């Protein structure tokens, strides 16, 4: 994958727009176009994630925001109960993270910064400082979308690429990201006129071939390194873990369909060698709410009943490590090991800042940045956008293999 260069022509200018080996930059191509780039508008890429608590004093505030944005989408909870419920949940969080796990701090925010920097580095190879990648967290100051967009406006950006780094699109993932961006844009609008001249959006990557292949390759490499000698392929169980979803979400899309499709695509690449494969949903079991099944615990027991002597737990519905992929999965494995100590358990990481993932994540942004920089006028209030010939900004690039 590294070292491959593809060239597209945009308004008579040749630019590198593919996955680029970060150690190899065609400086002549970049230098010849530098003046052209600097004369044009700049693009702010808002890379969006959940964010996680790094100070125990913030638990209650974090929970209240999460309840407002997430729980309200599927549970009939009156808003007045959010503050006291958030404080109650904070007590449980502090007990679990602080007492049971030795003052655990989630690595999510740290890893997300590596993802942001890596993606920006790839994009800088193409556009230099004309493109800047910002991070925004749904629930964590000082990187709330409203705070980040205020900074973007202050720095003079006029083009915005909304990029939730979340595997599936649902009301609980990109839905709340776009909701927060829209509210912030409304608050930052003065005189009825937006300060932006163009916006674009990158949808989920659950069906991107490069992501699916990376997941499958990581599982194969882990089995080859740690299990192949002692366990037959037919006795090696693979749990592909997605984020759990409630079946009813007030009519909103909950992510079940996309998550199931992602599982099917990864399973298809593994099933001929390893027949014991199951989806496992990491649910937030809530009273009176029907969640996706089988959950990870039940899926693991099912595979052991079919003769699995080793189990591999691979998170596929999460791009960035978080307390669910760490603490929740660790709890599940701990309880399973108590019941079946004869089984070998292997817990795998998310893709995180894997170089191949950062390359492909940057490549998904390229067509949208191209489109933003080629637009001369935003389609707004009945006006039509004028674009250079040969650039199809209306085409959905999501299904392209980069």
CATH code: domain 209-347 is 3.40.50.1400
Structure confidence at residue 75 (pLDDT) = 66
Q: Which of 31-35, 69-73, 75-79, 246-250 has the lowest mean pLDDT?
A: 31-35
Kindly state the tokens that stand for 39: 């004369």
Quickly tell me which residue has 């709410």 as its tokens.
289
Higher pLDDT among residues 34 and 335, named by residue: 335
Backbone angles phi, psi at 281, to 5 degrees: -95, 125
H helix or E strand, kind and range, residue 346: strand 344-347
Strand partners, 277: 238
In the prediction, which pLDDT does 376 show? 54
Closest CA to 322 of 290, 284, 288, 356: 284
Exposure string of 347-373, with b = 16+ CB inside 10 Å and e = fewer, is bbbbbbbbebbbbbbbbbbbbbbbbbb
Tens digit of each residue's pLDDT (9 = 90 or more) over 282-291: 998 776 788 8
Question: Is the entire prediction scored with pTM above 0.85?
Answer: no
Distance CA 344, CA 328 (A): 18
N- to C-terminal Cα separation, the chain: 10
Specify which residues 48 forms β-bridges with. 136, 164
Cα separation of 129 and 400, whole Å? 26
How many beta carbons lie within 10 A of that of residue 269, not counting itself?
A: 15
| Per-residue pLDDT tens digits for 149-206 | 999 999 999 999 999 999 999 887 888 899 999 999 999 988 778 899 999 999 999 9
C-beta of residue 290 within 8 angstroms of C-beta of residue 246: yes
Please name which of 169, 301, 320 lies closest in space to residue 245, comparing C-alpha atoms.
169
Per the prediction, the chain carries an average pLDDT of 83
CB atoms within 10 A of CB 319: 25
What confidence tens digit (pLDDT) does each residue in 322-338 have?
999 999 999 999 999 99
Q: Cα separations (Å) of 333 from 106, 157, 257, 326?
A: 19, 47, 27, 11
Residue 70 confidence class, pLDDT cut points 50, 70, 90: low
């Amino acid at each position: 994958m590294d070292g491959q260069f593809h060239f597209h022509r945009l308004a008579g200018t040749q630019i590198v727009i593919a996955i680029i080996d970060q150690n190899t930059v065609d400086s002549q191509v970049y230098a010849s176009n530098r003046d052209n780039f600097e004369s044009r508008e700049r693009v702010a890429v808002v890379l969006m994630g959940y964010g996680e608590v790094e100070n125990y004093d913030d638990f209650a505030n974090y929970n209240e925001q999460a309840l407002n944005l997430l729980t309200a989408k599927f549970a009939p909870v009156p808003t007045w109960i959010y503050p006291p419920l958030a404080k109650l949940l904070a007590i449980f969080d502090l007990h679990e993270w602080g007492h049971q796990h030795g003052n655990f701090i989630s690595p999510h925010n740290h890893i997300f910064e590596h993802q942001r920097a890596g993606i920006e580095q790839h994009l800088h190879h193409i556009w230099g400082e004309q493109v800047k990648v910002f991070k925004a967290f749904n629930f964590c100051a000082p990187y709330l979308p409203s705070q980040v967009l205020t900074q973007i406006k202050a720095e003079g950006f006029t083009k915005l690429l909304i990029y939730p780094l979340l595997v599936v699109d649902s009301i609980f993932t990109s839905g709340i990201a776009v909701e927060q961006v829209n509210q912030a844009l409304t608050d930052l609008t003065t005189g009825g006129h937006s300060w932006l001249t163009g916006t674009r959006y990158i949808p989920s990557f659950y069906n991107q071939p490069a992501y699916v292949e990376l997941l499958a390759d990581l599982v194969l490499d882990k089995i080859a390194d740690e299990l192949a000698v002692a366990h037959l392929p037919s006795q090696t169980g693979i749990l592909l873990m997605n984020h759990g979803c409630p079946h009813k979400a007030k009519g909103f899309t909950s992510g079940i369909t996309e998550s199931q499709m992602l599982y099917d695509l990864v399973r298809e690449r593994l099933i001929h060698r390893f027949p014991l494969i199951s989806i496992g949903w990491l649910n937030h079991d809530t009273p009176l709410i029907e969640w996706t099944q089988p959950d990870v615990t039940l899926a693991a027991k099912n595979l052991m009943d079919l003769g699995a002597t080793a189990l591999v737990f691979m998170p596929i519905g999460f791009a960035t490590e978080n307390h669910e992929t760490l603490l929740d999965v660790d709890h599940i494995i701990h309880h399973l090991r108590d019941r079946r100590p004869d089984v070998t358990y292997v817990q795998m990481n998310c893709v995180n800042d894997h170089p191949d993932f950062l390359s492909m994540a940057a490549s998904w942004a390229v067509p949208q940045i191209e489109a933003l920089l080629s637009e001369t006028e935003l389609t707004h209030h009945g006006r039509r956008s004028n674009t250079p010939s040969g650039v199809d900004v209306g085409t959905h690039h999501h299904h392209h293999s980069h």
